Structure 1
Amino acid sequence: MVFAAVPRIATLAATVALLGACAGSNADGPAADAGCAGFAAYQGHRGTTVTVRSSIRDVEADKLVKAWETFQTCTGITIDYSGSADFEAQLPKDVAAGKQPDLAFFPQPGLLAAMARTGKLKPAGKGTAENVDKYYSADWKRYGTVDGVLYGAPIDANVKSFVWYSPKFFAAHGYAVPQTWDELLALSDRIAATGTKPWCAGIESGGSTGWPVTDWLEDTLLRTAGPSVYDDWVGHRIAFDDPRVVAALDRVGGVLRNPKYVNGGYGGVESIATTAFQEGGLPILQNTCAMHRQASFYANWWPANATVAEDGDIYAFYLPPVDPAAGRPVLGAGVFAGAFAGRPEVQAVSAYLSTPDFADNRARTGGVVSANKELDKSVLSSPIEKLSATLLTDPGVTFRFDGSDQMPAAVGAGTFWTGMTDWIKGADTTTVLHRIETGWPA
């Protein structure tokens, strides 16, 4: 996501001014007071280094580093960051070998829990814990908590309960955004009757192929069985192939395995398995498909010349509930910062990452939102980011974290992905879910 010219210049000017104010100052000097007063709580650690590792890399890593640039300048703490594609697989090996970083950013609560149970991940420090209590909901705190102890603070978030569509296409054909699941299916039937496929999808993602269907199932189970059943399923307190889960996946099949509905722009149902997830929704812009269920981060995959807006080429609506009276569930995901070291400078960085100031700076870089309740929504650069932030901080929304990210890796990043790939290729619902259940680690 690219800033408009004027906001980018304004942000750069502010950064340059602050860098000038802070450059060469010590923690107690007048320059620090003039330009870095907001960082007073983190002073006293100049000249130290904190190592941070995560799966965030390339352009997104550049944005992440920019978000703590001023913190580094004003405190004198150097944040040594690196991101890698194999972070999730490598971190447990590094921890076992005693080579863990000072801080790690966990995209899965399941991985955070596994590291906490090694005894090497530290409980959140006092400042971090206070910030989480103050600025985040109880749900978000829960996903960073293991066995009653807070280990990870949320640092960014995304919403998965979105359906992407073309407002221009809808307006031209008199289609309204559906408010219930029944309305969603009625709209799908109406579009299909015109000869246009109402849905397009893609689940190919290299070694992670199949994960988009796990999101479909999780979102649908939340809507049909409710958050308590969802929690029990994720925690394996009910079987993976519980009848309510079977019913939810069959409901998904009413869309994704319906030849009348899919796969616009690509072919039949079978083409879903070989279509890259990044390309899954692109036929919307050619009017060969009308809708694509995918997370807020899918905004990064639309062409640069596509206008993302309520009246633009592309936008998204909230995946409607089955029963509106049962509330508004939202499926999402995010990243949590956890510390392997208890040094004061590490605790200072950790505490800062849980503040509204960091959330605002992170949002200013574009393409990222936060569940921080005091996020300044005016700094968000796109309508989708604003819509996501509104849902994430809405007290009337029931938020649940991506289920596969909370499950043991052998399931959540293994048999669940492969099982859903087999299912989209035509395997029987009950057979696939039972196979995943029998493979759940003891």
Structure 2
Amino acid sequence: MRTHGTSRTTLRTSQRRRHTWAALAVVGALALSACGGDGKEPAKGTDGPDTSGGPSVALPRLDGEKLEVAAVWTGAEQANFVKVLKEFERRTGATVTFVPAQDPIVTFLGSKIAGGAPPDVALLPQVGALVAAVKNKWAQPVGADAQAQLDQNFSPGWKKLGAVDGTQYGVYYKAANKSLIWYNAKAFEAAGVRPPATWKELLTAADTLSASGTPAVSVAGADGWTLTDWFENVYLSQAGPEKYDQLAKHELKWTDDSVKQALTSLAELFGRKDFLAGGQSGALATEFPKSVTQTFTGGDRPAAAMVYEGDFVAVNIAQTDAKLGTDALVFPFPAVGAKAPVVSGGDVAVALKASKGAQALLTFLASVDSARIHAREGGFLSPNKALAPDAYPNDIQRGIAEALIAAGDNFRFDMSDQAPAAFGGTPGAGEWKALQDFLANPADIAGTQARLEADAAKAYGN
């Protein structure tokens, strides 16, 4: 920060706090309107979780049992989840191994099952993957203990997302608020820009930022899933929740005019080379972690001033010298239509073996105990409504978490995660590839729509 005397510095800090709290208040308001082995609390002095927020969940002894848990998480996200698994080991006597999975996870699990070595539990990042696991008869229904934790700690909407045809198969362990834009406070200050509330204001801010010498947005185009999230926020805000639901089920074709309008709006941002860090080619070569870190390094002249993605961005910000809440701030995804969007996502834990250990782990993952361990590490959002907000390490994450819980069942789930994996969850194919091609050539809206519809029709079988 460039200083101009104590009073100016204090004023700017106060303004940033107000902007942060205002943003979180808007997120909350939008969420409300948008669609030890014996089960006892760990003794003091151990490395167990802080269970002061409530009674510890009872778990069985599993001495000598070995479990494998598969997820697509890497880096800090994986390391923090392993801390949860270590606590499960301590309290049950089991040995748990984390198995790194690849996208699409359905293909990864299929190969494991075909080889006779499925993991005991998998965390699936798409609703479509859960449906596929049930259809393939891989998934086991949750047991009575896990169901009891779900009934106690989760709203009906999150339970329903983990069910298929009325049977509960999954525990939504990790959630995401995917309607957030994170920004470099110093870059905004240097350009004299304020957080925008509308799409038009976002484009104006992008123009001002780029003119000041800092590209506006860091886009992780190398990871196609981030582009689906961009599209979903624009589409939900512009087309509305009814058409969003229809498109998610492929009851509406991707050649519909509403999709054309959303891509046209997105092209206003993606079509400006000077708006993107590295231009279109640079964006296509940028993976998600780098898209975040390059936004929060370089002082008031970073590679870009903003980066879009969910609450989990905090994990990557922590890998930089930027301080969350001071150097790195957040505002809600701007309104493209009448209302700003509220899109959520998440990872659902599913048992792939009919074993006591797999069910015990599902029970633990549905408890407050596991959520508290992960929450205190940062970059994690739990749909567990019994988790106290003070479990989160900072005001920004507490505000985002409170908004999610306050939303209850009124949210729209990530559209691509509801789709068959072949369309919405496969690198280099389907929606991921079509939107990467669109980022490379944002003028080709009709061609993008045609490719999206052809791939969707094939994946949905209609």
User: Could you say which TM-score interval applies, normalised by the shorter chain?
Assistant: 0.7 to 0.9
CA distance in structure 2 between the aligned counterparts of 1:138 and 1:38, rounded to whole angstroms: 23
SS in 1 for 2:45: helix
CA distance in structure 2 between the aligned counterparts of 1:44 and 1:251, rounded to whole angstroms: 56
Please list, as runs of the form range in 1=range in 2, the aligned pairs for 1:16-415 lying within 5 A after superposition. Answer: 17-18=45-46, 38-39=56-57, 41-43=58-60, 45-57=62-74, 59-85=76-102, 88=105, 89-192=107-210, 194=212, 196-204=214-222, 209-259=223-273, 262-264=275-277, 266=278, 268-281=279-292, 282-283=294-295, 285-286=297-298, 287=301, 289-302=304-317, 304-310=319-325, 312-323=326-337, 326=339, 329-395=341-407, 398-412=410-424, 413=426, 414-415=429-430
Q: CA deviation at 1:92?
A: 1.3
Conserved 8 A contact 2:157-2:408: no
* Alpha-carbon distance change, 246 to 15 in structure 1, aligned in 2, over 3 angstroms: farther
Q: Tell me what 1:428 maps to.
A: 444
CA distance in structure 2 between the aligned counterparts of 1:313 and 1:113, rounded to whole angstroms: 41
Conserved 8 A contact 1:57-1:82: no
- What RMSD in Å do the two structures reach over aligned CA positions? 2.9
SS in 2 for 1:337: strand
Q: CA deviation at 1:152?
A: 0.8
Q: CA deviation at 1:384?
A: 4.3
Conserved 8 A contact 1:269-1:424: yes
CA distance in structure 2 between the aligned counterparts of 1:263 and 1:407, rounded to whole angstroms: 29
> Mean Cα displacement is larger for which, 195-204 or 115-124?
195-204
Q: Residues 172-219 of structure 1: CA distance to partner in whole angstroms, max 9, x if unpaired?
A: 554332233333334334445555543332312xxxx43322111011
Q: Tell me what 1:10 maps to.
A: none
Q: Residues 263-284 of structure 1: CA distance to partner in whole angstroms, max 9, x if unpaired?
A: 24x2x34432233443335256
Q: CA deviation at 1:401?
A: 2.7
Conserved 8 A contact 2:311-2:380: no
Which segments of 5 or more consecutive residues in structure 1 lack a partner in the other structure?
Answer: 1-13, 21-36
Conserved 8 A contact 1:285-1:314: no
CA distance in structure 2 between the aligned counterparts of 1:76 and 1:390, rounded to whole angstroms: 34
Amino acid at match of 2:291: G
Aligned residues: 403
Conserved 8 A contact 2:219-2:283: yes
Percent same amino acid among aligned pairs?
30
* Alpha-carbon distance change, 300 to 371 in structure 1, aligned in 2, over 3 angstroms: same
Q: Residues 308-340 of structure 1: CA distance to partner in whole angstroms, max 9, x if unpaired?
A: 333x2222211122356x4x5322322111112
> Mean Cα displacement is larger for which, 166-175 or 246-255?
166-175
Using structure 2 for the length normalisation, give the TM-score.
0.78
> Mean Cα displacement is larger for which, 136-145 or 334-343?
136-145
Conserved 8 A contact 1:139-1:400: no
Conserved 8 A contact 1:210-1:418: yes
- Please identify runs of 4+ aligned residues in structure 1 that moved more than 6 A: none
Conserved 8 A contact 2:295-2:307: no
CA distance in structure 1 between the aligned counterparts of 2:286 and 2:61, rounded to whole angstroms: 53
SS in 1 for 2:259: helix
Q: CA deviation at 1:47?
A: 4.1
CA distance in structure 2 between the aligned counterparts of 1:273 and 1:57, rounded to whole angstroms: 21
Please list, as runs of the form range in 1=range in 2, the aligned pairs for 1:1-20 lying within 5 A after superposition. Answer: 17-18=45-46
SS in 2 for 1:329: coil
* Alpha-carbon distance change, 71 to 210 in structure 1, aligned in 2, over 3 angstroms: closer
Q: CA deviation at 1:222?
A: 1.2
CA distance in structure 2 between the aligned counterparts of 1:397 and 1:256, rounded to whole angstroms: 32
Q: CA deviation at 1:306?
A: 2.6
> Mean Cα displacement is larger for which, 400-409 or 194-203?
194-203
Q: Residues 384-413 of structure 1: CA distance to partner in whole angstroms, max 9, x if unpaired?
A: 433431332122784333222221222112
Q: Residues 47-77 of structure 1: CA distance to partner in whole angstroms, max 9, x if unpaired?
A: 4343322223455433223214333323333
Amino acid at match of 1:70: E
* Alpha-carbon distance change, 408 to 397 in structure 1, aligned in 2, over 3 angstroms: closer
Q: Tell me what 1:28 maps to.
A: none
CA distance in structure 1 between the aligned counterparts of 2:123 and 2:43, rounded to whole angstroms: 25
